[in-house]
Amino acid sequence: MARAHLTRAMALGAAALLSLGGGWLYMRFIGNDGTSPLDVLRTALFTLVGFWLVWGGVAGVLGILAPPKRVARSAGQPLGMTAILMPVYNEDAAASFSRVAAMNRSIVNLGLADRFHFAILSDTNREEVAAEEIVWFEQLLSEPMAEGRVFYRRRERNIGKKAGNIEDFISRSGGAYDYALILDADSLMDGATIAAMARRMDDDPRLGLLQTVPEVIHAHSLFGRVMQFSAAYLSPYFARGTALMQGEEGPYWGHNAIVRVPAFAASCGLPVLSGKPPHGGHILSHDYVEAALLSRAGWKVEVDPYLGGSYEEGPENLIEYAKRDRRWCQGNLQHRRVLGAPDLKVWSRFTFIQGIMAYAASPLWLALMAASILAAALPSKYWWRDNETGIWVLAVAVAIALLLPKFLILVRSTLGRRNKGFGGTLRAALSVISEIVISTLLAPIMLCFQSKAVIEILFGLDGGWPATNRDEGRVSLSTAFAASWWVTVAGAAVLAISTAFASDLVPWLLPVALPAIGAPLLIAATSRGIASGRQPILFTTTSETAPAPIIVEQQRIFLSWTQQGSAPAEPAIAGTAAVHV
């Protein structure tokens, strides 16, 4: 833990020095002819958003510098009983239940069936989807050793959303289990990884939660494949840096993690915030709060980026991503209500602030841009001389913070011969460059979506918890326009205003304004998939070049279940298949 404290101090110090140094340079260049209140505001905004930008880069650099780690896995059968929980909410039942089937087969093949039970916890409120869940649950009961080990229950009222779903299971059935592996409906984990996590809990009685770093799989669209490549190639290094800083007060991302049931039950009762949503009500981003409560109670919360065998699926287009991001935004902004909770660890409070700033930074960037346009529009014969260098400082600082870690990861992967699983060094390099280009084009659109979300929440508009359309892929141009026309209008307005009043600033605003104006086209274009049967040149990942057996097995099960004419018939009484737990 002392090492984590030292790493945190060094990382915070580096981020603070770099951001303050950048702010000092920025102020020096924009204030050559005298410092105005607008200059102070711009410098403050630059320093604040710059800190969080640099902070993300520092985590990546730490992960790159970290020596490779191999976690020794204790052998033998886990001692504790583990419940593997999959909450579902209006999901594709065949897809979700086939993942349970694949994980069950993996565990059975390891001879560990008597140590692991599965519970599908349904919050589904659409009757047609609920009927499908019963159908596929009966199919699931025909899997090896499923009887008496695989359960299903559906809540009549989904109080507290996913957190309430888990809490309901813990309160009703948690006493039968030592550990609970919490999944999402799109989660898939290898049986060996699950067993290793349970043994880690056995070996360390202070370990309250162990989080894996899931890899995104099964992406088909350009948007999804960019996210899949980034998660597989870039994210592990950022996760390693995060793990070094978090130490025993690590994050919890709400899924693909194992918890110690007694610790979770005793420590993680969530408060219902006073007032109505979006500011009050049930906490949507419950995972960060639960991690903080475990840490407060003295339990270790760790993330292990080296475990492997942990997978999830991601959205296939930016609209679906923005819908999910809107919920995360509302949940993270709720954390300001729990920042002052008694006895929380300092690092837990910092994690809350970090989550809040992940969304608050977007409107702050827009404020910086607006202040820069205003400064350029004010009459001053010295404006361009004084501000050209300041804009260069801003552009170079952003580029270094965003790009340097990615290129260092490419170099580290090349030296470590890691690129083979990503199609070779040339394809990996082209993929990294393409990821940077596409992310840069989509960044202004996400900036607008996140800023809109923050403003809506501040004005009391509740986004709720919409069901995730995980299979929603290609977006038509008309649908994309309906979702983002206002982004186009905003981009055009910025360009028109700057052309009329601050023409010297236009070249610097084009990388932001043009993608915003073309938002419908970019959203529609990136939602398209590659032609069937073609091997993609870019964004190849190891899950495609050498897919893990659990991935292959799940796909085989899903296809065998859903191919024409093979789906099981509905039971005569839909409720007879449900086993309540």
Indicate the domain borders of the chain: 2-67+359-460+472-526, 82-221+235-316
DSSP secondary structure code for residue 420 in this structure: G
- Topology of domain 82-221+235-316, per CATH? Spore Coat Polysaccharide Biosynthesis Protein SpsA; Chain A (3.90.550)
Q: Where are the beta strands (DSSP E) in 341-401?
A: none
Query: Cα torsion for 5, 7, 13, 19, to the nearest 10°?
Result: -130
What digits encode the pLDDT tens for the residues 402-419? 899 999 999 999 998 999
Q: What is the pLDDT of residue 452?
A: 96
The SS3 of residue 45 is helix
Instruction: Examine the pLDDT at 461 and tell me if it is beyond 80.
Output: yes
What digits encode the pLDDT tens for the residues 59-109? 999 999 988 776 655 667 899 999 999 999 999 999 999 999 999 999 999
- 515's CB contacts (< 8 A; 6+ apart) are 440, 441, 442, 443, 444, 445, 491, 522
* Cis peptide upstream of residue 568 (ω within 30 degrees of 0): no
Q: Are 513 and 495 in contact (CB under 8 A)?
A: yes
Task: Lowest mean pLDDT of 244-258, 462-476, 530-544, name the range.
Answer: 462-476
- 545's CB contacts (< 8 A; 6+ apart) are 421, 422, 423
Mean pLDDT of the chain: 90
Task: Lowest mean pLDDT of 21-30, 278-287, 518-527, name the range.
Answer: 21-30
| Edge-first strand listing for the sheet containing 215-216 | 188-189, 310-312, 215-216
Q: What is the pLDDT of residue 574?
A: 36
In terms of Cα–Cα distance, which of 256, 273, 425, 294 is closest to 337? 273
Per the model's pLDDT, the better-predicted residue between 323 and 532 turns out to be 323
Rounded Cα gap, residues 47 and 43, in angstroms: 6
**Percent of residues, the chain, with pLDDT higher than 70:** 90
Number of residues assigned to the chain: 581
